[in-house]
Chains A and B, each alone.
Chain A
Amino acid sequence: MSEELTFWEKLARIDRRVFYWILFIGLMIPFIRPIMFPISISPSTRDLYEGIIEMVEPGDVVVMNIAFGVSAWPECMPAFAACTKLLIKEGAKIIFWGAYYDVDLSYEEVLRRCEDYFKDLKYGEDYVYLGYYPYQEAAVAQLASSIRSIFETDNYGTPLDEIPMMKNVDKATDIKLVLSGDTGDVCDYYIRQWRIPYGVPVAEIGIAMLGSSYMPFYKSGVLFGMSVGVRGGAELEKLIGEPGEATIRMGAINISHILVIIAVVLANIGYFASRGRRR
């Protein structure tokens, strides 16, 4: 152990906290001095955007499923808000509900982020908030066969029959499409219980990892579109022409991703250099 350390070995012994500090400070730079580069649109996001525009006619009822917690806002909220704006532009009537116990706050945040859009709309006629349903496949399946068997009332206690936009809506077949913002596997439930039995189009607007695990579903046409994490959010913001939070955040993504790449490359150069020497 006491032999002279090479440059690479010394480099490999840097305390891990040094990296944490570099990263945290590095991430702040773009918020002070924005670093912007043009963003290209990926096919899955474009399909999502065009799918909504093609399918939704004014007056159609659409479900926005909030299956991400408050904790995943930085990743999921930009895309979710952008999709809400797009749906309102297309004249859809929106049902909000969610499978996360902290869904109330997420719903309020959506309203706040799309303030300009919601101010001309009327609760109960153009949008409605039904609240929380348990994170269970049985619940999602039952929502498909009868919304009223899970939600007798909206979140504020008004019976669904007294809400104008819900009068003739009770089954999956009354819904034009479902957009699910996920951190977990709730979208699986919508695929299995809504898309396959009833043919309701479903799209995913969740965290980036789901962009990998749901890619086969998108490729096989089970999902009509997919937005991948905050990058998808930035693409959607570009498509609807309202650059917002995700677009700003792409600066931080640039910095952090470059840092990760440098780390991996340096580490592997060091690994092969010291391995060569040992031989």
Chain B
Amino acid sequence: MPYPTDPAGIAGLWIAWLLMLMIYSYPLYKENPAFRFAEHTYVGLMLAIMLVRTTITTTIRMVGPPLMQGKVWYVIPIILGFMMFFLLTPKYRWISRYPIAILVGAGFGLGMRGVLIPDITNQVISTITPPVTGAGAVDWWNYIYIAIGTICAVMYFVLTWEHRGGMGYATRLGRWIIMIGLGAYFGNTVLFRMAMLSGRAQFFLQVLKIAPM
């Protein structure tokens, strides 16, 4: 955002800056009331923005027009939606199971039918697809590494048989290969977290007009 010029914007900028310092007083100093204040501010804001955007306005948007067009049965999902709130009353909690049943059914139905091709067959196909014609030794090495690595790593997750004999060696290799995967994941996590933190360091300077906004 450009450096604001109106008073409300300038006030907002400095309040945002102060709230940031209040949060970072926790790691940089210790837990204190300022941190708690800022944390509670965030939760209050988040809940309100969430409710405004989701439950209230989006429901009206999704259900309003069809009801206007005379599709009366759109009342049913609304009633089902509000039946969820019985989850909060121990005695009538079972009523909330009906909407949950639809959510769970749709969620698992879509999820299970969805994972079969991209997560299973496509992965097997990709593992056993040899490099294109004219590929060099490096490509063949990568083909062998990925195929053997995947086989051993999947074998590592065989959980109801003891890993004895040859399988023991394969699964040990499998675990190492999983560790290499997690290592790369770790490297990417560091990138993500540091990018986020650098954004805050930049903002710290921007408000003080040391860095350009």
Contacts and interface: CB of A to CB of B under 8 A. Distances in A.
Interface string A76-110: 00000000000000000000000001111000010
Nearest to A223: B118
A220 B127 CA distance: 8
Given A153-B61, A196-B114, A74 B1 contact: no
B202 interface: yes
A35 B61 CA distance: 49
Given A150-B62, A208-B188, A208-B195, A249 B202 contact: yes
Contacts of B197: 23-24, 27, 256
A201 interface: no
B176 interface: no
A252 B202 contact: yes
A255 to B, nearest CB: 8
Contact of A230 (B62, B115, B195): B195
Interface stretch (A45-53, A57-65, A187-195): A187-195
Given A212-B188, A252-B198, A252-B202, A137 B29 contact: no
B93 to A, nearest CB: 22
Contacts of B201: 24, 27-28, 31, 252
A132 B202 contact: no
Interface centre among B28, B50, B194 (most CB of A within 10 A): B194
Q: What is the size category of the interface that chain B forms with chain A?
A: 35 or more
A137 B123 contact: no
Q: What is the size category of the interface that chain A forms with chain B?
A: 35 or more
B189 interface: yes
Interface string B117-138: 1100011011000000000000
Interface in B174-213: 181, 184-185, 188-192, 194-202, 204-205, 210-211
Nearest to B198: A252
Nearest to A253: B194
B12 interface: no
A213 B185 contact: yes
Given A137-B114, A196-B118, A253-B198, A216 B123 contact: yes
A172 interface: no
Contacts of A188: 114
29 contacts: A17-B27, A24-B28, A24-B201, A28-B201, A28-B202, A31-B201, A74-B195, A74-B200, A75-B199, A101-B49, A104-B53, A132-B54, A132-B58, A138-B110, A150-B62, A153-B65, A188-B114, A208-B189, A208-B191, A211-B188, A216-B126, A220-B122, A222-B118, A229-B188, A231-B191, A249-B198, A252-B198, A253-B194, A253-B195
Given A32-B211, A229-B195, A260-B190, 11 more contacts: A27-B197, A109-B1, A137-B114, A138-B103, A159-B65, A191-B114, A209-B189, A212-B181, A229-B192, A230-B191, A260-B194
Interface of A: 17, 20-21, 23-24, 27-28, 30-32, 72-75, 101-104, 109, 112, 131-134, 136-138, 141, 150-153, 159, 188-189, 191-193, 195-196, 207-209, 211-213, 216-217, 219-222, 228-231, 249, 252-253, 256-257, 260
